[in-house]
Amino acid sequence: MPPYIHPPGGTGLPSTGATIFLTRHVFCVLSLLAMLLFPASSCPPPCLCSSDTLVVDCGERGLSSLPPMHLLPPGSRSLLLANNKFASLGASSFANLSSLEELDLSNNYLDNLPAGLFRDMSNLTRLTLHNNSLTVMDRELFQGLVSLQSLDLSLNGLSTIPVGSMDELQHLRWLSLAGNRLHGLERAAFEPLVNLQHLELGQNPWECDCNLRDFKHWMEWLLYRGGKVDALECTLPKDLRGRDIRGVPVEMFNYCLQLEDENGGGGGDGARSGQGGGPPCSRSALIPSGATPVSDNSGGAGGDSSSSTGGGGGGGEASSDCSRARYRPVSVRRAIGTVVIAGVVCGIVCIMMVAAAAYGCIYASLMAKYQRELKKRQPLMGDGEADGEDREDKQISSVA
């Protein structure tokens, strides 16, 4: 049925609005029919669909609303929507598109994306949101992106990355946050990214103060693992302006500990992650970095990754211990708790046994002494030996 098959060029015919409307409807019906009969031949109107590469290209079409996604050829792998005029997307725009592996939304005007927008895209490995107008990120925005390996959020207006927003991105290897309005980052937001290899943070107004200290530790751990981070240049405070935070020695942040001590570790730090805060961990991470510069040189293999960090190299090792401590799962913590309680109970029982033994010894020695004194006194009383022995027996039996 050749006339039913959708022409690859799309709706290029010059015609009035009414005819376009009609042809769209006819197209819809025909495409639906075609989809039922020839699943590979449907394609959302202004886009180009390639049946062999499974790429749907809707880029540079001047679109301000999404083409009908239900017409996407089943099994499509890439959806290219870059260089259009999208300003917003509905929460179910990408519902059921679980076959997609790549989604490109760069160079649009998206300013706020709804929670759960990518919920069904469990096969997506590449998501590009480069050059949009995102200023806030919902904590649930990246829900469901369990296969994501590459996320490009560069050139937006983001000022914070909420803790928990990347919890499901455990396969993420590449992340760009370059060219946003970030001045600080929460370490807890990045801890779930256990497979991250490459992080871009340039062109942000970083404030290298206590708020960035924990993130610096995390970053050093990432470098220690062999990951790559581009420059994170401080804009504040003034005396660090233009300096890469990786080159700022950890000792520069020692005053943060004093601040925390003064505040009793409460306040801003407690609100951060609810993980019990940083002080004990951070302290142990700070001390060895200054004390053991020798171990830094002895590990020749790790030298190339830590060489760029300069003085911070020693801190990387220490802070890796620190992160490991934080990663300790609940079960391990419970096991440790059980061991501690068992130890305390055993200790108490031991102490009681020792006390009982000591009491027994003292009692026995006292009794022995008492009897010796009795023996000494008996001759003085002038009684016969046999009688004395009788008394002694009586004494012992009475004691017993």
Ligand X SMILES: *[C@@H]1O[C@H](CO)[C@@H](O)[C@H](O)[C@H]1NC(C)=O
Classify residue 341 as left (phi > 0), alpha (psi -120 to 50) or beta. Answer: alpha
Query: Prior bond to 280 cis, omega within 30?
Result: no
Strand order, beta sheet including 228-229: 48-49, 55-57, 78-80, 102-104, 126-128, 150-152, 174-176, 198-200, 228-229
- Of the candidate spans 88-96, 218-226, 344-352, 373-381, the one that interacts with ligand X by CB under 6 A turns out to be 88-96
Smallest CA-to-CA distance from 316 within 204, 374, 229 is with: 229
State in angstroms the smallest separation of the CB of 229 from ligand X.
22
Among 19, 53, 64, 96, binds ligand X (CB under 6 A): 96
| 99 lies in the site for ligand X, by CB under 6 A | yes
Instruction: Give the three-class secondary structure for 150.
Output: strand
Tokens 């980052």 label which residue? Answer: 185
* Nearest residue to ligand X on Cβ basis: 99
Tokens 């790790």 label which residue? Answer: 302
Q: Which long-range contacts (CB under 8 A, 24 or more apart) does 388-393 make?
A: none
Smallest CA-to-CA distance from 81 within 99, 100, 97, 63 is with: 63
Within 135-209, residue ranges assigned H as helices are 187-190
User: Could you give the string, one character per residue 117-136, with x where binding to ligand X holds by CB under 6 A and - elsewhere?
Assistant: ------x-------x-----
| 92 lies in the site for ligand X, by CB under 6 A | yes
User: Could you give the string, one character per residue 39-78, with x where binding to ligand X holds by CB under 6 A and - elsewhere?
Assistant: -------------------------------x--------
Q: Using the CB atoms, write b or e for 343-371: b if 16+ within 10 Å.
A: eeeeeeeeeeeeeeeeeeeeeeeeeeeee
- What tokens appear for 243 in the block? 């300096």
CB nearer to ligand X: give 92 or 295.
92
State in angstroms the smallest separation of the CB of 89 from ligand X.
13
Among 19, 53, 98, 133, binds ligand X (CB under 6 A): 98
| 149 lies in the site for ligand X, by CB under 6 A | no
CB nearer to ligand X: give 95 or 259.
95
- Of the candidate spans 91-99, 201-209, 293-301, 313-321, the one that interacts with ligand X by CB under 6 A turns out to be 91-99
- Of the candidate spans 96-104, 317-325, 326-334, 377-385, the one that interacts with ligand X by CB under 6 A turns out to be 96-104
CA–CA separation, 287 and 254 (whole Å): 10
| 107 lies in the site for ligand X, by CB under 6 A | yes
State in angstroms the smallest separation of the CB of 107 from ligand X.
4
| 154 lies in the site for ligand X, by CB under 6 A | no
- Of the candidate spans 39-47, 94-102, 236-244, 346-354, the one that interacts with ligand X by CB under 6 A turns out to be 94-102
List contacts with ligand X (CB under 6 A): 70, 92, 95-96, 98-99, 107, 123, 131
